[in-house]
Structure formats: structure tokens, C-alpha cells
Structure 1
Amino acid sequence: MKSFFEIEAYQELQERIDNITIDSNAQWGKMNGSQMLNHCQAPIKIALGKSDVTMKSNWLIKVLFKKMMYSPKPFKKNAPTPPQFRSLGDYDFNIEKIELQKWMNELWEDRNNENRKPHPVFGDFTKDQWGIMQWKHLNHHFEQFGV
């Protein structure tokens, strides 16, 4: 499984984001490109400890969904997004793209951090799990927009 923290995977994601344009259409789901770019920032901010997102968590969520976050199995298309992570606004595409690239760069620079705060829903992850989860989420949405 690829990891955001591996140079080849990171560079691939950077190349793919460059191919997302304002005219890129979603192959599934309800988000437009600017909403997707905004949405993709949230998990990165969580990994960096720069998010104030809170959610109720319980053992069932942790047992059923935590392993899915970093398993090799792809995320399901059209899976529901928790309200705290929905990007429903009217965002500026170019600004959101620059912001996502900025957050991706910051996480890359912080890739060796072994002491991340627990995820607000799933709790603790290892460095490897964080890297896989970040790559998997970005890959899912980049595929959604055909790149």
C-alpha cells in the first residue's frame, strides 16, 4: 500500500493535483472540484494537529471503520461523509488548490513526526497508518476527478 510519506507516492500526488482543473468533473458524488479540494484539506490538518474538528466516537466506529482507513481496500464511491467533513460552500477553485498543496507540503515536511495527536474519531494511529490513510484519501478523491 502506498503512503503519503514515501517520496514516490508524494510526488505522484503532486503531479496528479496539477492535472485537476476548474473544468474537471466528478465521476461520482456530489462535490464539485473546489469543494473536493477544500474537503481534502481536513484530514491533513487533523494529521498536523491543526484542526478543531470534534466528533463523538464510540467503540463500534473504532472497531468497524478504523482499520478501513488504512487497509488496502479502496474507499467506496459515494460513501457518506460525516457532516463535520462536508464541504458544501461556494469555494474559489484556485485558492482551494493552492491551500491543499500548501497543506500537503506541510505534512510532507512533518512526515517524520512520530508523536501526532490522536485522531478525533479513531484515536491513535502509527506513522505508517497516518501515511497510508492520507494517501488513500487523496487518491480516492483524485480518482473521483479523473486523475
Structure 2
Amino acid sequence: MKSLLTEEGYRDITSRIEKLSENSEKGWGKMTVGQMAWHCQYPLDLAVKNKPNTAKGNWFIKTFFKKSLYDEKPWRKNLPTSSLMKTFDDKDFNSEIEKLKSLIDDFYAVRTRDKWYPHPAFGVFTPEQWGQLEYKHLDHHLKQFGV
């Protein structure tokens, strides 16, 4: 599985983001390309900030869904998402893409960090799993918009 913490994964994702435009057409889902860029920022920001949390998460999700976040199997189209990562507002493509690119750079920059705090919903991830999760999420949405 590719990882956003490797140079190969980082370069793959960043080069594909450069191919997006305001007019990129979605293959599925309801989000515009600007909304997708906004949506992809939250999990990256969560990992970059790396704050301790007291959330226990949902045992069902951690037991039955967590591994699918970073395994080789692609996510199916139109998966439900957390309300924290939903928006119904218009989002400016250029500003959201710039924020997303900055967060991707920030995530890649912390690749050698020693301490990774647990995800508030999914619990403990190894650094490798964090990188795979972030890669897989971005890959899913870049495919959604044809890149």
C-alpha cells in the first residue's frame, strides 16, 4: 500500500492534485472539486496537529472498519462521511487547493516524528498506517475527479 509518508506516495498525490481544475468533473458523489479539497483537509490537519485526545472511538468501527482505512482494497464510491467533514457551502477551488497542498506538505514534513497520538475515532495507528490512511483517502477523492 502506498503511503503519504514516502517520497513516492507524496509525489504521486501532489502531481495528481496539480492536474485538478475548477472544472474537473466528478465521477460520483455530491461534492464539487472545491468542497472535496476542503473535505480532505480535516484528516490531514488532525494528523499534523497530533494532539492528545480522550475520545474512546466506536468499538464497532475500530473492530470491523479500521483495517479497511489502510489496506490495499479501494474504497467503494459514495461512502458515508463524518458530519465534521461535510460541507454544503460553496468552496473556492483555488484557496481550498492551496490549503490542501500546504497540509500535504506539512504531513510529509512530520514523517519522522516519534510520537503519533491516537485518532479520535479509530484509535491507535502506526506511522505507516497513518501514511497509508492519508494516501488512500486522497487517492479515493482524486479518482473521484478523474486524476
TM-score band w.r.t. shorter chain? over 0.9
Question: C-alpha deviations, 1:51-85, integer Å up to 9, x for none?
Answer: 8x997722111101111111111111001112111
SS at match of 1:84: helix
Q: Which runs of 5+ in 1 are unaligned?
A: none
Aligned length: 147
Match of 1:64 in 2: 64
Q: CA deviation at 1:86?
A: 1.0
What TM-score comes out, normalization by structure 1 length? Answer: 0.93
For the residues of structure 2 that align with 1:3 and 1:87, how far apart are their CA atoms? 27
Comparing 127-136 and 105-114, the one that deviates more = 105-114
CA displacement at 1:6 relative to structure 2: 1.1
Q: Which residue of 2 aligns with 1:34?
A: 34
In structure 2, what residue type is equivalent to 1:89? D
% of aligned pairs identical? 42
Which amino acid in structure 2 is aligned with residue 127 of structure 1?
P
- Tell me if the contact between 1:24 and 1:146 (Cα under 8 Å) persists in the aligned partners: yes
Q: Is the 8 A contact 1:36 1:87 kept in 2?
A: no
Q: Evaluate the alpha carbon distance shift between residue 145 and residue 90 of structure 1 in structure 2; reply closer, same or farther with a 3 A threshold.
A: same
Deviation at 1:93, TM superposition (A): 0.6
In the aligned structure 1, how far is the partner of 2:119 from the partner of 2:47?
Answer: 7
The unaligned stretches of length 5 or more in structure 2 are none
| Partner residue in 2 for 1:14 | 14
Cα deviation, residue 50, structure 1: 6.1
Cα RMSD (Å): 2.0
Contact 2:50 2:116 in 1 (8 A): no
Output aligned runs, 1:38-53, within 5 Å. 38-49=38-49
